[in-house]
Chains A and B, each alone.
Chain A
Amino acid sequence: MSERIGIVAVAQTKYQKSRPDVRESELVYEVVEKLLTETGLRFTDDGTGIDAAVTCSHDHWDGVTISSWPIADVTGGHLRPEEKVAEDGIFAAYYAFIQILSGHYDVVLVTAHTKESQTSKNLIENSSFDPVYHQMLGLDYTMCAALQAKRYMYKYGITEEQCARVVVKNKKNACKNPNAQEPAELEIGDVLSSRPLAYPIRYLDKKPTSDGACAMILAREEKAKKLTDRPVWIEGVGSCYEGYYIGDRELGDCENLIKAAKSAYRMAGISDPKKEIGVFEISEEYSYQELLWTEGLGLCDKGRGGTLIESGATALDGEIPVNPSGGLLSGVPTNVAGLSRVAEAVIQLQGKGGDRQVSARKALAQGMCGPCGQLQCVMVLGI
């Protein structure tokens, strides 16, 4: 990269189970207005402010095709460039990064929002499956996650207790995050005795229903340095897709995340992520995913994700803290999920983590989309 691209400011709503007081535009403006106030930027056409917006939301979730139109006013999309990605917010950040790298824009706003409370997660997920094959079987992501969890446990001897440790750790971390929806002090037994959803996944193994929004501003190096004294640079990005049919995939491993991470590490010049990266904010919609994803990210060998969490390395005070924010298990909406991982990584590197602050000069954010992490994206950030 000839010139660095930085994230200059991030904002998140408090994540909540339901926000009936606002419609999407009002929810998104909560975070956009924070950014405008913090940076002093305005939407302009003369190169002095925000040049463009990339947003992430989903037509099915919002119940409207082209789900970015109801928020166009608040994202500066009125007679100006605005583009939407529908996979996960981390891909919106990726898109904005590429827009600036291309030389087309200098400063780009990124937003992501979803109000999961307004419809049925199971039905929305069901509609993502092949309509002439799998959809009529009533599949959703929780059932697929259960298949992946079982395969992972069978293949490597990962235990339900090890998965429950992820819930205990992340919800405890969430107690130190004022934006977290469902912080809790739990015991492993509380997780194991919560009601079953799809064996071996129980109620507390799954991310709760959540409403909220996240936004950030990306800028070319020269402008980033003027906008903040603490820019966070995007040093590497990688993404990788997987097969559409669950049966085509080896669910006990995550080859796509391994490839996405390799690509991001190569770009960022990382050879040993465990030593070189100080904090990890990753997308665990289900507890087992944090263990499996730490393997995919190269923090331990295949099948050793359970041992890694038992060692305490991924705890808030461990060598490689994973999800100091409390992760998705503490409540972050889908689509917002990956962008909020990037935002939390930026918060850590800017030293704004408050009680959840850890010591790091490089951070990793991971986002995903689809059943069992079908599409993966890894972003390495640094100061």
Chain B
Amino acid sequence: MAEKSLEQVKISIRVEIPYLWTAGKYLARLYNEIKENERFVANKCPKCGRILFPPRIVCGRCHVRASDEWIELGPRGTVKDYTIVYYSMKDPSTGKPRPEPYPHAVIVLDGGGLIQHYLEETDPEKLRVGMRVEPVFKPKSERVGHPTDIRYFRTVEE
């Protein structure tokens, strides 16, 4: 008997799970500084002296508790590495897609510490490793205490 091919069955469901994370005391300090003072702060490894940014409890290389000494970094920095993203990616904090293309960069903050963020400049001809940038913060009334309080880093001529 010839078997009739079965219709494929597809199930579409949306999984929504709410989370309420806590930042812990180290990240909370950075986030408060971003929100209140447009400043970046880091802690340090007491053994190797490495700057821990974002700040954290332990230096993963030396396996020792970070010191209680806090330092300020930036706000300006230098682009160490970058890419240009040509597809739209949902921003999990807003649920909205980010307009593409946009550069995503690794920036060495003045004084040390790496931050990953967006660049304002989208022209590939004008992007280069070593370019100097500074953060553009949202107005204080819109800041919530999070890296998204920074819109992007813009090019500065020095």
Interface: B131 (CB within 8 A): no
Residues of B within 8 A of A74 (CB): 57-58, 60
Contact call B58/A29, Cβ cutoff below 8 A: yes
Q: Which residue of A lies closest to B19 (CB)?
A: A63
Contact call B25/A26, Cβ cutoff below 8 A: yes
Interface: A103 (CB within 8 A): no
Known A-B contacts A123-B17, A131-B11; the reply to A20 vs B60 at CB < 8 A is no
Interface of B is mostly: loop
Compute how far the CA of A60 lies from the CA of B57 in the bound complex, rounded to whole angstroms: 24
Interface string of B16-28 (1 = CB under 8 A from A): 0111111111110
Compute how far the CA of A124 lies from the CA of B65 in the bound complex, rounded to whole angstroms: 33
Contact call A22/B25, Cβ cutoff below 8 A: yes
Contact call B63/A76, Cβ cutoff below 8 A: yes
Contact call A118/B17, Cβ cutoff below 8 A: no
Interface: A155 (CB within 8 A): no
Interface: B15 (CB within 8 A): yes
Interface: A73 (CB within 8 A): yes
Residues of B within 8 A of A119 (CB): 17-20
Contact call B65/A118, Cβ cutoff below 8 A: no
Compute how far the CA of A132 lies from the CA of B9 in the bound complex, rounded to whole angstroms: 9
Contact call A25/B56, Cβ cutoff below 8 A: yes
Contact call A20/B22, Cβ cutoff below 8 A: yes
Contact call A25/B57, Cβ cutoff below 8 A: yes
Contact call B63/A42, Cβ cutoff below 8 A: yes
Compute how far the CA of A303 lies from the CA of B132 in the bound complex, rounded to whole angstroms: 74
Interface: B59 (CB within 8 A): yes
Contact call A73/B56, Cβ cutoff below 8 A: yes
Residues of B within 8 A of A135 (CB): 13
Residues of B within 8 A of A132 (CB): 9, 11
Contact call A72/B22, Cβ cutoff below 8 A: no
Interface: A21 (CB within 8 A): yes
Interface: B4 (CB within 8 A): no
Tell me, rounded to whole Å, the shortest Cβ–Cβ distance linking A114 to chain B. 13
Contact call B13/A63, Cβ cutoff below 8 A: no
Most interface-central of B9, B15, B60 (chain A CB within 10 A)? B60
Interface: A120 (CB within 8 A): yes
Residues of A within 8 A of B9 (CB): 132
Contact call B17/A124, Cβ cutoff below 8 A: yes
Residues of A within 8 A of B58 (CB): 25, 29, 73-74
Apart from A118-B20, A127-B17, A132-B9: 16 A-B pairs, beta carbons within 8 A: A20-B22, A21-B25, A22-B22, A23-B24, A23-B27, A29-B57, A43-B63, A63-B19, A73-B60, A74-B60, A78-B61, A117-B20, A118-B22, A119-B19, A120-B18, A123-B17
Q: Contact residues of B with A, CB < 8 Å?
A: 9, 11, 13, 15, 17-27, 56-61, 63, 65
User: 13 A-B contacts, Cβ less than 8 Å apart?
Assistant: A20-B22, A22-B24, A22-B25, A26-B24, A29-B57, A60-B17, A63-B19, A73-B56, A74-B60, A78-B61, A119-B18, A135-B13, A136-B11
Q: Which 7 A-B residue pairs are closest in the complex by CB-CB distance?
A: A23-B24, A78-B60, A73-B60, A63-B19, A43-B63, A20-B22, A132-B11
